[in-house]
Structure 1
Amino acid sequence: MADHRLLEKMLDLPEFKITDLKHNENDIRIYVEKKDKPDICPKCGTVEPRLRVHSSRNQEVRDKNILDKKVGLIYKRKRYKCMECGSTFYELSDSIAPKSRLTNRLRDYIAEQSKRRSFIELERELDISNVTIRDIFLEEMKYNLECGLDIETPSIIGIDEIHIQREGKHRKQAWAVICNGDEHTIMDILPNRNKATIVEYFRNLRNPENVEVVTMDMWSPYRDAVYETLPNAIVVADKYHVLRIANKVLDTLRKSYKGKLSKEQIKALKHDRYLLLKREHDLKPLPDIAFRDAWFNEIPELKVAYELKEEFFKIYDSKTKEEALRRYKEWKLKIPPDMKEFDEVIKSVEAWKTEVFNYFDYRITNAFVEGINSTIRAIEKQGRGYSFDVLRAKIMFCINHKVERPSYGEGVFYDMKFGGFNRFNPSINMRTKDYGVPFDDIIEALNEGLL
């Protein structure tokens, strides 16, 4: 009995007494029952009622690990009959919810740990299903998910999408990532990239008039949403998405020349495609340029296509918008009539001409958003299929935001004497400012295994 009292102290669940204990190399099972009878009947409300045990059942409940062994409580839950009213009821426990298979403290442990560790890691530690861990995490995050975020409005916003969650065998759902270009923080992650979703988000910004520039890829719903909701914003089409179209066209042309080559040459040209897609100034004289020129001798049309690609890239070397527009016009005239593939470049640029050439006024790209997207993918990969709510909560609510708080004496003072705010405080408009989650902190948390 003395041993059991010592074990009860170690178990630290004062309402229970231990009746037995079994263990092996992996698990510990502790048999418990409540020390005291209920002091009130939940049916008739009688205090200190006359009760007798009507029946009982063993309920297996998981608890926190002990010495790296998984712990199960075999709780003998009694069903009492109230002799005052004749009704029966099961006793309640302070440590275990009525229908739960986990102790309250284990749920609290999972809720806290799941903010900083992957569900897979917790599943391995506790031998509890990934689904259960996810549900506990989302319940912990429920308030934050429903309330949303009150983030400061920057002068520069970057929008991009990230394709992660599979909705079918092949299709993936795109989530929009909204970033602060001034502070390099994530402002929020949205469940899709539809215009209505983006419009709703921008309309709820604290100060939409503060936005001066929005960078994005050439996705029309983004552009339409900006023009509809941000009155002072200029849209800049991301430079690298524009240039990627020219590279795509060149690669399409490379594939079209297969009919002129042997099987061995087709395989070799596929291997050497990087020589065509890299910028000329990034190629080494030997062996890169030598191999590239050998292909040009074999396929003269490939040289023409390559030079057109390079000339298109050089438009972005222009010092002014006027120079860029002139170079673009000259470039179009150089396209041979039989190279219709470059019409795709022209079509895209013409559809986004204002936004493409806005770059030369602001020199801003979407690279800062693209960089954090790769980190988000790594977090999702580590978690093996996080849902949208889980991934958003992990990033937006489990990492400290960049916050700027007023210094002492700069906030609004409440006048206890007169029951109102002190309107004579010259710093009455000072408040805490939330800029979102810093990119560097997300990367650091990922590298330290905290997500």
Structure 2
Amino acid sequence: MNPDLLNLSSDRVLQVEDADGDDQIKAETLSPPGRCVHCGSIDLVGFGRREQWIRDLPIHGKRVGIAVDTRRFRCKSCGRTFYEPLPAVDDKRLMTTRLKTWLEKKSLRPPFSQLAEETGVGALTIRKVFDDCAQDLKDSLSFETPEVLGIDAVHLIRRSRAVFTNIPSCFVIEMLPDRNKTTVARYLADLPDKGRIRCVAIDMWRPYQDAARETLPGVPIVVDKFHVLKMANAALDTLRKTVGVTLPPEKRRSLMRYRHVLPKRFSDLNEVQRKRLDEWSRDFPALTKAHQAKEGFFDIYEAPSRSDAEKRYREWDASLDPEIRTTFGPLLTAFQNWEGSILAYFDHRVTNACTESSNNLIRAVQRMGRGYSFDVLRARILLNRHGAHRMKPFRRPGFMEKNRREDDRALGYGLPSADIEPEEISLGVDISTLLDLIEKGAI
């Protein structure tokens, strides 16, 4: 038997047994406590023993359980009893600190059930270790509030989740467990330096708008243009399907085969695609009218100003053929309900395309790890310090420095103080780098 089998300086191995392929190790501490843990007195007497089962890292592929013969002491000075401390054991759980550290790192990748099978630790306990680790990671990160904030949703694990991005940098800065107004408003209310935000880009989800208006009063809200244009293409595709139902199989397959032609701008079509569109104009006049209407709606977003865009929309609305008006009904209703925020695009020219890209990457990460919980997925993407995480130096001035800066500013001075240690603040997760890491299997 190797007395140093555990490689723990505070314990000595007494016996090793094989129990159904697992190692059960009996051990004892080498040094008894010198003082009472309650009063500090050195006047101690033995007061019994107990056996504690501690989980440790696997050895040679075998799960390890350590039975520590723990001594109990009574202090003659204060009369209180205590068990001898176990330096190598985690304060909160019956496992070694090295196993806890190992589980913290591993819990971001394999499922909890797999780690439970490898170590013998219960999956619920591993979940609690992960929760503590994720909270520590979160506490160690401070995210910079962006000037242009993007809010969108991604459907993960049977639920829509709110995703926040720094639009100018195209960095993900937060993922929330749902997209309810209360959850979104709480996050926005807790943002530091909310005065930095000069614009918020959202999709047409009313709780986002309500939460932003309540927590960020006066900040312009812009409906992402891609969501609006997507509705125009969706209307055209719905009509294509309706028309296709009435056609013989051969023509229906042709319409299906060239469905990608309809969403494209006419200027982007090649000669073959334009010819196909001309053929449809003879066979499907309603579809041709709808395609022209779609093109006219897209032209609205080429307007140089808000007033010109509003004028173009009024003219487009008035020119819609009654035959296809119902086709664009959802788009007309959306524009009526969100007109102010839709037209705000022409004042600020911001889009949520960055958030749309992040959603695709988040789905890719989910596909790589079936069985992840949302919390694990969020920690893996957002909290873990991987290659896509961008940090920058940050100085957090203390109270005295803030006052001194105000006095210096009043006197016309602008010299920074050198007595505050620099920190780091997170800018978020770079989406393009995140994609590279996913393709390499590094996340």
Aligned equivalents of 2:416, 2:62: Cα separation in 1: 56
Aligned equivalents of 1:101, 1:447: Cα separation in 2: 38
Match of 1:64 among 57, 66, 73: 57
Which AA in structure 2 matches 1:4? N
Asked if structure 2 preserves the Cα contact closer than 8 Å seen for 1:215 and 1:235, the reply is yes
Cα shift readout 1:190-224 (whole Å, capped 9, x = no counterpart): 33222333333333333333322211111122223
Asked if structure 2 preserves the Cα contact closer than 8 Å seen for 1:16 and 1:32, the reply is no
Q: Which secondary structure does the structure 1 equivalent of 2:323 belong to?
A: coil
Q: Which secondary structure does the structure 1 equivalent of 2:145 belong to?
A: coil
Aligned equivalents of 1:413, 1:216: Cα separation in 2: 36
Asked if structure 1 preserves the Cα contact closer than 8 Å seen for 2:32 and 2:84, the reply is yes
List runs of 5+ in structure 1 lacking aligned partners.
Answer: 167-171
Match of 1:319 among 281, 286, 304: 304
Aligned equivalents of 1:143, 1:98: Cα separation in 2: 16
Cα shift readout 1:73-99 (whole Å, capped 9, x = no counterpart): 3526468799x9xx9998764434599
Which AA in structure 1 matches 2:425? D
Asked if structure 2 preserves the Cα contact closer than 8 Å seen for 1:77 and 1:90, the reply is no
Aligned equivalents of 1:413, 1:365: Cα separation in 2: 38
Q: Which residue of 1 aligns with 2:411?
A: none
Asked if structure 1 preserves the Cα contact closer than 8 Å seen for 2:145 and 2:193, the reply is yes
Aligned equivalents of 2:162, 2:313: Cα separation in 1: 31
Aligned equivalents of 2:51, 2:46: Cα separation in 1: 21
Q: Which residue of 2 aligns with 1:32?
A: 26
Aligned equivalents of 1:100, 1:124: Cα separation in 2: 15
Which AA in structure 1 matches 2:393? E
Deviation at 1:48, TM superposition (A): 5.0
Q: 1:271 to 1:70 in 2, by over 3 A?
A: farther
Q: Which residue of 2 aligns with 1:402?
A: 391
Larger displacement relative to structure 2 (377-386 or 231-240) = 377-386
Cα shift readout 1:313-359 (whole Å, capped 9, x = no counterpart): 22222233333223222222232213212122111112222222222
Q: Which residue of 2 aligns with 1:177?
A: 163
Aligned equivalents of 1:341, 1:76: Cα separation in 2: 75
Asked if structure 2 preserves the Cα contact closer than 8 Å seen for 1:79 and 1:88, the reply is no
Cα shift readout 1:144-199 (whole Å, capped 9, x = no counterpart): 65x69754333211111122122xxxxx2x22122222333333223322233333
Q: Which residue of 2 aligns with 1:105?
A: 98
Match of 1:255 among 235, 238, 241: 241
Asked if structure 2 preserves the Cα contact closer than 8 Å seen for 1:158 and 1:214, the reply is yes
- Equivalent positions of 1:377-396 (< 5 A) are 377-396=363-382
Q: What TM-score do you get using the length of structure 2 for normalisation?
A: 0.78
Q: Which residue of 1 aligns with 2:6?
A: 11
Larger displacement relative to structure 2 (427-436 or 100-109) = 427-436
Q: Which secondary structure does the structure 1 equivalent of 2:356 belong to?
A: helix
Q: Which residue of 1 aligns with 2:129?
A: 136
Q: 1:98 to 1:184 in 2, by over 3 A?
A: closer
Which AA in structure 2 matches 1:31? I
Q: Which residue of 1 aligns with 2:88?
A: 95
- Equivalent positions of 1:202-281 (< 5 A) are 202-281=188-267
Match of 1:195 among 178, 181, 188: 181
Indicate the RMSD between aligned Cα atoms, in angstroms. Answer: 4.2
Asked if structure 2 preserves the Cα contact closer than 8 Å seen for 1:119 and 1:130, the reply is no
Cα shift readout 1:90-121 (whole Å, capped 9, x = no counterpart): 87644345995643311111113435x34479
Asked if structure 1 preserves the Cα contact closer than 8 Å seen for 2:149 and 2:199, the reply is yes
Q: What TM-score do you get using the length of structure 1 for normalisation?
A: 0.77
Deviation at 1:414, TM superposition (A): 7.9
Cα shift readout 1:278-303 (whole Å, capped 9, x = no counterpart): 333333323x3444444443322111
Larger displacement relative to structure 2 (123-132 or 103-112) = 123-132
Q: 1:97 to 1:187 in 2, by over 3 A?
A: closer
Aligned equivalents of 2:110, 2:192: Cα separation in 1: 33
Asked if structure 1 preserves the Cα contact closer than 8 Å seen for 2:116 and 2:126, the reply is no
Which AA in structure 2 matches 1:49? V
List runs of 5+ in structure 2 lacking aligned partners.
Answer: 409-413
Deviation at 1:30, TM superposition (A): 5.1
Q: 1:157 to 1:93 in 2, by over 3 A?
A: same
Aligned equivalents of 2:317, 2:399: Cα separation in 1: 64
Kindly indicate whether residue 429 of structure 2 is the aligned counterpart of residue 438 of structure 1: yes
Asked if structure 2 preserves the Cα contact closer than 8 Å seen for 1:321 and 1:361, the reply is yes
Match of 2:289 among 304, 316, 323: 304
Asked if structure 1 preserves the Cα contact closer than 8 Å seen for 2:137 and 2:384, the reply is no
Aligned equivalents of 1:206, 1:100: Cα separation in 2: 35
